[in-house]
Amino acid sequence: MDGEPQKVGPCMWPIEEIPHSDQVYRQVPPPDRIGKKSRRYPNEGHFSLAAEEKGLSVNWDKYVTVKSVFELISLRLNKKGNFTDYSGFKIYKFPVGLIKTFDRIADVEHDPVCKGNPAPPGTPNNRAHSLVLHDDDLEIRVKLSEYCRDNHSESHCDFPISTLENEINEMRENVTSTIYHQCKWPAVGDKG
């Protein structure tokens, strides 16, 4: 690979190979159970693809922590044009090596997203963005849901969300100057 040119994303972030030993995070919205029969959470619907998606959206742990996944959620605008309420989301982590063993998953591919420098309010850049490539197969979605249920203590990322309120409010007030709206996003643990 040393002699091959690297593919580069729109923010000049290289598209990298994600090692089998790394993890990816999947954010799951709050359960919608009002007036409905209780279902497993997360259920297979939380892992389905939207019509325009070529893979399941996840975040690579090389570039985000659980805290920063919540921050990214909080800086996006919802359909009503308001900042997304991050407080009901749950974050689950998956070992990349495990996901790649599932039949019909083609790959886990780094897919950084850059909307500009700075990115417009409500659409943060995401250097960690990656895709679990599959054809929206029900069996895959059920396996991902069952993994969360059967391995809850390892997969569910418990985080004290209430500790973020002040920091998130400050980021929302200065939204285009956050690290997520700039193309200067270091790897987790980097100082630069």
| pLDDT, averaged in runs of 10, over the chain (192 residues) | 47 89 95 57 90 93 96 95 95 97 94 90 94 92 95 95 95 92 76 42
Beta bridge partners of 57: 131
pLDDT at residue 116, as a whole number: 86
pLDDT of residue 10: 54
Query: In this predicted structure, what is the pLDDT of residue 3?
Result: 45
pLDDT at 37: 56
- Return the structure tokens found at 132: 């679990």
Tell me how far apart the alpha carbons of residues 129 and 53 are, in angstroms, rounded to a whole number: 13
Distances (CA, A) of 102 to 60, 111, 126, 133, 160: 18, 20, 26, 11, 32
Instruction: Write down the pLDDT at residue 40.
Output: 67
